[in-house]
Amino acid sequence: MANRTHLRDWHNSIAEQCVKRLQRSLTEEERKYITSHIGFMALEAIEDSVKTLSISALEELLNSKTDQ
């Protein structure tokens, strides 16, 4: 149960960081990109990308398709 809570909180944290960087709400597709990742290494990579990518590159990442 703790892992699910941690995962949900991490997804929400990443989404909040995206909203701050993009200065707008996330689309359903962008939010789905974040929540489709459940591995800690993947989430660390997404979190790092949110902090370092340009705005246009971040939008491109969030709108990329996943295999899930």
Above 80 in pLDDT, residue 31? Answer: yes
Q: What is the mean pLDDT of residues 61-66?
A: 88
Q: What is the mean pLDDT of residues 28-51?
A: 96
CB 50 within 8 A of CB 21: yes
Interatomic CA distance for residues 31 and 28, integer angstroms? 5
Half-sphere exposure of 40 (CA within 13 A, CB side): 3
Mean pLDDT for all residues in the chain: 93
What does R_g of the chain's alpha carbons equal in angstroms? 11
Phi-psi region for residue 53, left (φ > 0), alpha (ψ -120 to 50) or beta?
Answer: beta
Residue 1 is predicted with a pLDDT of 58
Residue type, 50: V
